[in-house]
Amino acid sequence: MDQEDKIVFSSKEVKEFLGIKFITESCVLLRLSYQVRYKALVLFYNFCEEIDLVDLCTASILLASKLEEEVCTLKKVIYVFNYLYTKYESKAAPLTNRQSIRLKEGCVIAETRILKSLGFDVSFEDVYCDFVEFLQTMDLPIDFIDKAIQVFNTMIQWPEVKLLDSKSLAKATIESLFGQNKEFKDFVSRYNMFQKKKFDLQTYKEIPTIRNIDEGLVADFAKRQKRR
């Protein structure tokens, strides 16, 4: 048993990681900006323990796209999400009328619940603009700036960003660039390990997978059988 097999994920952590995965991939397929992705993830982190995974993911994406005034219909959101969700379960399956109605209703109810909880006042700092302006105030090489933005785009997947303002987020990003943010490094490591595994979308428990048998072992076994 290697080290990765010994890693245990809690149900809460699995739900968070699944949300990160589905929201990030949905935003990519829907061609939504990183600003939308950031807002959708922060909304997801804040309500992760209260709302169903599917409804929360779709509602977070839809609401974030509205806040950024990017064209993204409810129909597109649930179509893309259904594709990613069913693909993760086994294989991508078409969206039936019944599923479409259920997803639309769940998304609208979750979105309303989020808005009510926030007093219908959903406001965010412009963290991207603030970070770019921060980088521009310093005489930095282009390569360093590009790397900083790449790290920043990864940083927004970290659940702790819901607690960070623009200044703290910029500081955490720079610390990560120099390998001084252990918490974020540990998060990235665990998320990468999560990506290599498969989990039940209802129970959030790991689904055991059959490992590929080394071809060399198969060849040796075949040779031994021939000698008998």
**Contact criterion met (CB below 8 Å) for 26 and 77:** yes
Q: Please report, for the domain that includes residue 92, its CATH number.
A: 1.10.472.10
Residue pair 179/185 in contact by the 8 Å Cβ criterion: yes
Instruction: Identify the band that residue 226 occupies on the pLDDT scale cut at 50, 70 and 90.
Output: low
Q: What is the pLDDT of residue 159?
A: 95
Is the residue at 3 inside a domain?
no
Do residues 111 and 54 share a domain? yes
**Residue 211 three-state SS:** coil
Number of domains in the chain: 2
What pLDDT shows up at residue 222?
56
Asked if 86 contacts 34 with a C-beta cutoff of 8 angstroms, the reply is no
What lies within 8 Å, CB to CB, of 134 at 6+ separation is: 170
Residues 116 and 134 reside in one and the same domain:
no
In a shared domain, residues 156 and 221: no
Which among 61, 55, 57, 65 has a CA at the least distance from the CA of 16? 57
Q: Residue 199 — very low, low, confident or very high, per pLDDT cuts 50/70/90?
A: very high
Token readout for 43 is 């909304």
Residue 211 pLDDT greater than 70, yes or no: no
Residues 24-48, mean pLDDT to the nearest whole number: 97
pLDDT at 221 over 60: no
Does some domain include residue 145? yes
**Predicted confidence (pLDDT) per residue in 63-88, tens digit:** 999 999 998 999 999 999 999 999 99
Indicate the pLDDT class of residue 138, thresholds 50, 70 and 90: confident
Same structural domain, 112 and 133: no
Q: What are phi and psi of 199, to 5 degrees?
A: -130, 150
**49 and 76 together in one domain:** yes
Confidence of residue 182 (pLDDT cuts 50, 70, 90): very high
pLDDT at position 193 is 95
What is the end-to-end Cα distance of the chain in Å, rounded?
31
213 token code pair: 């048998």
Task: Quote the mean pLDDT of the chain.
Answer: 90
- The DSSP line for 89-117 is HTS--PPPHHHHHHHHHHHHHHHHHHHHH
Q: Is 50 in the same domain as 150?
A: no
Same domain, 73 and 132: no
C-beta neighbour count of 155 within 10 angstroms: 24
Decide: pTM greater than 0.85.
yes
Whole-angstrom CA distances from 126 to 136, 144, 165, 173 are 16, 22, 10, 16
Q: Over 80: is that where the pLDDT of 15 sits?
A: yes
Mean pLDDT, residues 118-144: 89
At 2, the pLDDT band (50, 70, 90 cuts) reads low
Mean pLDDT of 9-28: 97
Q: Please give the residue range of the domain that contains residue 104.
A: 10-123+208-227
Residues 223 and 110 in one domain: yes
Question: Do 9 and 206 meet the contact criterion of CB atoms below 8 Å apart?
Answer: yes
